[in-house]
Chains A and B, each alone.
Chain A
């Protein structure tokens, strides 16, 4: 077993461990969110092994960073006191979640078995260089428009958050 394969299995194990941790920590929401971070960051490791560095960075920034931070904010704002569902209701919720999980799993297995052979990705796919070239040649107009979106969002945030507009 060579080194990259070893790394792949390590990351794969961490992904699964993080996912299990997310659902195992049913009482402690913060711990569940941190387990989700483990899953997301380990997935980014697998992307790096595939050579898609840029996608790995996005994975860490968006999923590992922004979305989990949003989760934590929601948890903090919601506070500690979470209403306990009555036991019968709780069992129903658990049964429903297991059912949904099984359905998703079955769907994925069915999609993957007999999935047509995909053409190989172009050389350098998902690397910073290729993404940068695409952004600043083919999609330069969109990049400029997104900068306008950011400008509008900054101005808007200032307008709404400033105590006194002068």
Chain B
């Protein structure tokens, strides 16, 4: 059985660093915009924005450090024994580390993009940090109240960030759409929580597990409503309609963050809820998840084929990936959950990379988002074209990239669980996805550029983030489990980390 958690104030370290970081940035931004010079340099908005981004990345790095230490120690810690709402264990730490890295990459990708639009404000980074604080709280929540508060803290800043480019109508539209639909989803989730509380008399996951009765209609209705709420957040069919519009309208770095971090955090919380509160072996749930998975894979990948806008295409592709991820939930086994955790890591880097290229290609006030904008890119911007090709191959799941390992892992787990149709659907839809993923590399190499590129340089933050994403995608593609960093002698068994982390949910 799982050892009982111990009390320690250090549980709060990751949340503390990100929350305090958000406040520090707000104060620092106010001081910077008032002062005229710092360290002998005149404070321009771009300079202030860069400093704010550095502060954000500093605090995120501190949070990453304490999370890695917590993961290595392997303890389960809570803040208090009576009604613990937040627990720091290996499962939470694994997801937290991923979220924090995504946050660092998002900040690195944002600086020059925001400067070009003239909206490089401190509030942006403060809101990103606030959102990550909520996401970290969500992945460690072991109580429905914690899930709710974490979810709200994660999404409220994103409502604002989606509309951060206030001069553009599309961005405003994305914000209001995400706000209305997101609030609706949260309300449904909350209603489900109220019903579960009514049926079991508790909000704590462990106590729900003891009192849960799968034959009670109130309890099952509650679980159903909670699942619908989560399905909205991970953009699974049939609760996906908001995703393409919001992904298209929001500023590209926020789209990248949303598609990766929100999905990872919501999936992690869903896994924890299903495994520790209602029991992964519940039959009816597997059927529901299987239906969601098949629908998401088919609808997402088919709709992506007809998109002319890269951000919309990636939105539908992310719906398809959500369907693939759900396969792991259908198995209800530790192996399936570990496959999801690994897939989330891989998906984060390849999707951030793909959006990173879109961001790096954006010109002042004009996004490079039509598929045709990629024509002839191999000649004009060979580095970016190579990176984009790698990320597209990985998203499609071509061997040699991390995306292949993630899908392969999932298929193996599904077949071990005696499932036939879900892996077949995954393979068939992956073949369909080849069409729209490979369209971009083909356009980049085969077609002449329609117009000369107006921007040829690449900001250092973008370059670093893209290099890191590409390196991870290649590294995990060849060494998913036994990778060694040769010059450091550091072993990176990512698959083992994923399977270790889920043992916290199942007990060993």
Contact = CB atoms under 8 A, between A and B. Distances in A.
Interface of A: 137-142, 145-146, 148-149, 151-153, 155-160, 165-166
Contacts of B146: 141-142, 145
A156 B82 contact: no
B127 interface: yes
A32 B79 CA distance: 48
Nearest to B18: A148
Interface string B83-99: 10110000000000000
Interface of B: 12, 19, 22-23, 26, 33, 79-80, 82-83, 85-86, 119, 121, 123, 126-127, 130-131, 133-134, 137, 145-146, 149-150, 152-153, 156-157, 159-160, 163-164, 166, 175
B166 A160 contact: yes
A157 B156 CA distance: 10
The 4 nearest A-B residue pairs measured at CB: A156-B160, A152-B130, A138-B83, A145-B149
Q: Which of A142, A152, A157, A165 has the most CB of B within 10 A?
A: A152
Contact of B149 (A137, A142, A151): A142
A137 B150 contact: no
A152 B149 contact: no
Contact of A148 (B12, B26, B153): B153
A159 B127 contact: yes
Q: Which of B26, B119, B123 has the most CB of A within 10 A?
A: B123
B119 to A, nearest CB: 8
A157 B83 CA distance: 33
Given A140-B80, A141-B146, 18 more contacts: A138-B80, A138-B82, A139-B85, A142-B146, A145-B150, A145-B153, A146-B149, A148-B133, A149-B153, A151-B130, A152-B127, A152-B134, A153-B156, A155-B26, A156-B127, A156-B160, A160-B166, A160-B175
Contacts of A148: 19, 22, 130, 133-134, 153
A159 B149 contact: no
Given A141-B85, A145-B153, A160-B160, A151 B145 contact: no
A149 B82 contact: no
Q: Is the interface of A mostly helix, strand, loop or mixed?
A: helix
5 contacts: A145-B134, A145-B150, A152-B134, A152-B160, A166-B33
B152 A149 contact: yes
Contacts of A160: 160, 163, 166, 175
A157 B160 CA distance: 8
A141 B86 contact: yes
Contacts of B85: 139, 141-142
A82 B175 CA distance: 28
Contacts of A156: 127, 156-157, 159-160
Nearest to A149: B153
A9 to B, nearest CB: 29
A157 B126 CA distance: 13
Contacts of B22: 148, 151-152
Contacts of B123: 155, 158-159, 165
A149 B23 contact: no
A156 B124 CA distance: 9
A158 B153 CA distance: 17
A157 B157 CA distance: 10
Contacts of A159: 121, 123, 127, 160, 164
A132 to B, nearest CB: 15
A141 B78 CA distance: 11
Contacts of B159: 156
A159 B127 CA distance: 10
A160 B22 CA distance: 18
Given A159-B160, A160-B166, A152 B153 contact: yes
A141 B145 CA distance: 11
A108 to B, nearest CB: 15
Contact of B126 (A142, A155, A165): A155
